[in-house]
Amino acid sequence: MAKEILQVKNLQVQVEEKEILHGLDLSVGEGEVHVIMGPNGAGKSTLGSSLMGDPRYEITGGEIIFQGENITGEATDKIAKKGMFLSFQNPIEVPGISLSNFIRSSLEQKTGKHIRVWDFKKNLEKTMEILAMDTSYAERDLNVGFSGGEKKKAEILQLLMLAPALAILDETDSGLDVDAVRTVSKGIEEYKKSVGGALMIITHSTKILEALSVDRVHILVEGRIVKEGGEELIADINENGFEKYL
Amino acid sequence: MSEEKTYVEDIDRSIYDFRYEENDAYKVEEGLTEDIVRQISSEKDDPEWMRDFRLHSLEVFNNTQMVDWGPDIAGLDMANIVTYVRPNTDRMHADWEEVPTDIKETFERLGIPQAERESLAGVGAQYDSELVYHNVKDEVAAQGVIYTDLESALHTEHAKMIREHFMKLVPPTDHKFAALHGAVWSGGSFVYVPPGVSVEIPLQSYFRLNAPGAGQFEHTLIIVDKGAYLHFIEGCSAPKYNVANLHAGCVELYVGEDATLRYSTIENWSKNMYNLNTKRAKVEKGGKVEWISGSFGSHVSYLYPMSVLAGEGARAEFTSVTFAGKGQNLDTGTKVVHSAPKTSSYINTRSISKDGGISTFRSSVVVANAAKESKSAVSCQSLMLDDISRSDTIPAMDIRTADADVGHEAKIGRISDDVVFYLMSRGLSEEDARALIVSGFADNVGKELPLEYAVEMNNLIRLEMKGSIG
């Protein structure tokens, strides 16, 4: 296994007094591709949000080590600056802020440097081309009135522009048609190729995984990892579902 | 007067808060008497009708009840307000080099001369009661555009036009502070745009109140003739004192047939200011008035720009944002009177309240019986940034014809944790995320302002949001 970028040790998380994750262990090596699969309500999204420091999820036990530092209880922006990225299952609409300005502000926060508008624009347009996104989206209000597919593409656009060391993709393929899944997959491949970061792909289907070489699969059921294995687990789930783990 | 009423905690407004020693050449006693009004009138060398107008207004003032329906103004005692302060310069200049150093530096720090060089067709700068600088670009003057101060215009060939329009839209009998304005008005601007002339870049007036315990009562009279176009920008600020200051300006806009006037304001009075300002526009057939208004400062504001749609097809657009922070009670809104057929109005307002600030939106839309086939749409949104702040919406509609299309929508909300988490997940701090959300909320005004003013507004929002994370 490559050097670990993320170690989750005995993580316990609760939301509104109800425990969702009951002591979860997980390790991801640098540049590796991990898949988290599980039925609805297993705690997959809770895992993604907790790793990203969402204050609505209370960590009641265990710890999260990211890039060698304990980030348990750390503020979300600090975690983001250390190189973690979460692609949202339901990207939020934010009126009055353009997609382009948002990405530029984020980049400036991350690098602590002023970014020249001209260079940024060129880079952004090039990246939008990879994702077959119309460049007019750059000047539109962030996610406002975007279709489901465009919202997910906008997430992948942010991923490619911000180039994090670890990307957590929460159900990025859900609700997308075949073409959109193909485009998003292409964006993820591009991330692997140009950034070389690690991926944690949370999904309950496998369409998005077809073009990726997966290092490790974790099956999450009722707040616990019940099974881990290689790529062969995906085929097994495809054929038999989660039934035997319930 | 009560000190604690006017003392409010303040954000770091250092770019506005610097002040110079009072170095005025002349000022009247505190309070308001016939003698003081006569002194102001003779200082200004008023024509006889204007002196009589002032004295009549004073009488109206004395016989009019104090307003009692809005925010508390008990902290404002007219007996303590100095109504006229002449800065230490004997006349208005058309060259910044001739303006006295302390006053010139004030406007330099506010960026006015730079803005004039870069993006304005003309500038007027008022310091306390008098204009100290007024200039208009040659090419604009060559189009026949008049942009000057009212006092000197009263002694020129424009006197007749001014007399025909001055306080005809806002008569002294309108309310107590209109009467006060009629009695002690000083400074402001007179603008006339001839028929068919389009002024491509904006004119701007900047009002700065430097003297503590003083009032500023500038009068802005703008006449845009048939088919003409003008964008006029008004800016105002003052350093903070712990005594009450009063601003009771008056703006009268006459928009001719098929003419368009855009009137933009970024108001950032210090938080000891009582801002009791009256603005009104009359729009003729096919004409249009566009109000763009950002209210950030003052302790108490009463501000409801009004549009009278007098001719067929006349239109009004009102776009505003009001930000009430700690110790502020800002009562803002607009009034539209549809008195001719096929007139339309569109009102789009945002108000933000924070740290116990009170923001009240009032609107009044009147559609007269004659205003057949008229349309009005009102949309107001409020954002409360915490549990101790307050936001009220008081929309009124008086529709006298069945043949009108009138709509109203109101929304009150908070910043949701979802949005903050989303923005923070990309590396923005909580403070930056919230400031960005509030700027986005105020974008209805931001996107209508010229770029440099939009930037100034966003900086104001950023300042107001500083330290807002508990």
Strands (E), B225-305: 229-237, 245-247, 250-255, 260-268, 273-283, 288-295, 300-303
Residue B376 belongs to what H/E stretch?
strand B374-384
Q: Chain B: which residues have CB within 8 Å of chain A? A: 417-419, 421-430, 432-433, 436-437, 439-443, 446
Q: Comparing C-alpha atoms, which of B27, B29, B48 is closest to residue B186?
A: B27
Burial class (CB in 10 A: 0-12, 13-18, 19+), B144: middle
DSSP-derived secondary structure letter, B85: E
B440 closest CB neighbour out of A81, A95, A103: A95
pLDDT tens figures, A7-44: 999 999 999 999 999 999 999 999 999 999 999 889 99
What total of structural domains would you count in chain A?
1
Does A52 sit within 8 Å of B439, measured CB to CB? no
Whole-complex ipTM:
0.96
User: What's the CA gap between B396 and A212, in Å, rounded?
Assistant: 61
Name the H helices within A15-170.
44-51, 76-81, 99-111, 117-130, 148-162
CB proximity A146 to B under 8 Å = no
Contacts of A128 (CB under 8 A, 6+ apart): A134, A135, A137, A138, A157
User: What's the CA gap between B437 and B446, in Å, rounded?
Assistant: 13
B264: confidence class by pLDDT, cuts 50, 70, 90: very high
Angle at which helix B430-441 crosses helix B451-465, to 10 degrees, equals 130
Q: Find, in chain A, the residue whose alpha carbon is nearest to that of B422.
A: A92
Is residue B6's pLDDT more than 70? Answer: no
**Average pLDDT for B131-136:** 86
Does A162 sit within 8 Å of B426, measured CB to CB? yes
Q: What does the buried/exposed string (b/e) look like for A20-40 if buried means 16 or more CB atoms within 10 Å of the residue's CB?
A: bbeebebbbbbbbbbbbbbbe
Does A96 sit within 8 Å of B442, measured CB to CB? yes
Check the CA dihedral A63-A67-A73-A79 and report its sign.
negative
One-letter identity of residue B267: E
Q: Comparing C-alpha atoms, which of B151, B148, B130, B123 is closest to residue B47?
A: B151
CB proximity A112 to B under 8 Å = no
Does A80 sit within 8 Å of B429, measured CB to CB? no
**Average pLDDT for B67-86:** 89
pLDDT tens figures, B146-171: 999 999 899 999 999 999 999 999 99
User: What's the CA gap between B173 and B167, in Å, rounded?
Assistant: 10
Q: How many CB atoms lie within 10 A of CB B124?
A: 28
pLDDT tens figures, A146-183: 999 999 999 999 999 999 999 999 998 888 888 888 89
Q: How far is B119 from chain A (nearest CA, A)?
A: 22
The answer to whether B167 and B252 have CB atoms below 8 angstroms apart is: yes
Choosing among A50, A94, A142, A166, which should be mutated to test the B contact, i.e. which has the most B CBs within 10 A?
Answer: A94
Does A77 sit within 8 Å of B428, measured CB to CB? yes
One-letter identity of residue B426: R
Q: How far is A25 from chain B (nearest CA, A)?
A: 23
Choosing among B418, B420, B425, which should be mutated to test the A contact, i.e. which has the most A CBs within 10 A?
Answer: B425
Give B414-419's long-range contacts (Cβ < 8 A, gap of 24+). Answer: B414/B383, B414/B384, B414/B385, B415/B383, B415/B385, B417/A55, B417/A56, B418/A92, B419/A92, B419/A94
**Percent of residues, chain A, with pLDDT higher than 70:** 100
Is residue B460's pLDDT more than 90? Answer: no
What confidence score (pLDDT) does residue A47 get?
97
Angle at which helix A99-111 crosses helix B430-441, to 10 degrees, equals 160
What confidence score (pLDDT) does residue B385 get?
93
User: What's the CA gap between A168 and A198, in Å, rounded?
Assistant: 9
Q: Tell me the three state secondary structure of residue B203.
A: strand
pLDDT greater at residue A181 or residue B373: B373
Does B441 sit within 8 Å of A56, measured CB to CB? no
DSSP-derived secondary structure letter, B30: B
Is residue B470's pLDDT more than 50? Answer: no
A96 closest CB neighbour out of B418, B429, B440: B440
Report chain B residues whose CB lies below 8 A from the CB of A91. 422
CB proximity A76 to B under 8 Å = yes
User: What's the CA gap between B337 and B309, in Å, rounded?
Assistant: 6
B15: confidence class by pLDDT, cuts 50, 70, 90: low
Residue in the block written with tokens 């002032």: B54
CB proximity A52 to B under 8 Å = yes
B131: confidence class by pLDDT, cuts 50, 70, 90: confident
What confidence score (pLDDT) does residue B86 get?
85
What confidence score (pLDDT) does residue B3 get?
35
Q: Comparing C-alpha atoms, which of B35, B314, B421 is closest to residue A53?
A: B421
pLDDT tens figures, A180-227: 888 999 999 999 999 999 999 998 777 778 878 899 999 999 999 999
What is the average pLDDT score of chain B?
90
Residue B60 belongs to what H/E stretch?
helix B48-62
Beta-strand pair B300-303/B273-283: parallel
User: What's the CA gap between A173 and A207, in Å, rounded?
Assistant: 8
Tally A–B CB contacts below 8 A: 76
Residue A45: C-alpha distances to residues A21, A111, A131, B1, B326 (Å):
11, 28, 25, 59, 39
Q: Comparing C-alpha atoms, which of B106, B358, B135 is closest to residue B237?
A: B106
Q: How many CB atoms lie within 10 A of CB B36?
A: 19
Does B418 sit within 8 Å of A94, measured CB to CB? no
The answer to whether B63 and B56 have CB atoms below 8 angstroms apart is: no
Q: Comparing C-alpha atoms, which of A224, A245, A202, A171 is closest to residue A13?
A: A224
B443 closest CB neighbour out of A54, A75, A96: A96
Is residue B325's pLDDT more than 50? Answer: yes
Residues of chain A numbered 84-103 and touching chain B (CB < 8 Å): 85-86, 88, 91-92, 94-97, 102-103
CATH number of the domain enclosing A147: 3.40.50.300
B67: confidence class by pLDDT, cuts 50, 70, 90: confident
Largest CA distance in chain B: 68
Q: How many CB atoms lie within 10 A of CB B190?
A: 25
Q: Find, in chain B, the residue whose alpha carbon is nearest to that of A82.
A: B427
User: What's the CA gap between B37 and B24, in Å, rounded?
Assistant: 19
Name the H helices within B229-269.
none
CB proximity A71 to B under 8 Å = no
pLDDT tens figures, B332-365: 999 999 999 999 999 999 999 999 999 999 999 9
Is residue B47's pLDDT more than 60? Answer: yes
What confidence score (pLDDT) does residue B14 get?
62
Is residue B381's pLDDT more than 50? Answer: yes
DSSP-derived secondary structure letter, B65: P
- Domain segments of chain B as ranges: 3-303, 415-470
Domain that holds residue A130: 4-245
Entry field: residues in chain A:
246
Q: And the tokens for A73?
A: 């209880």
Q: Is the pTM of this model over 0.90?
A: no
In DSSP notation, A20-51 reads: EEEEEEEEEETT-EEEEE--TTSSHHHHHHHH
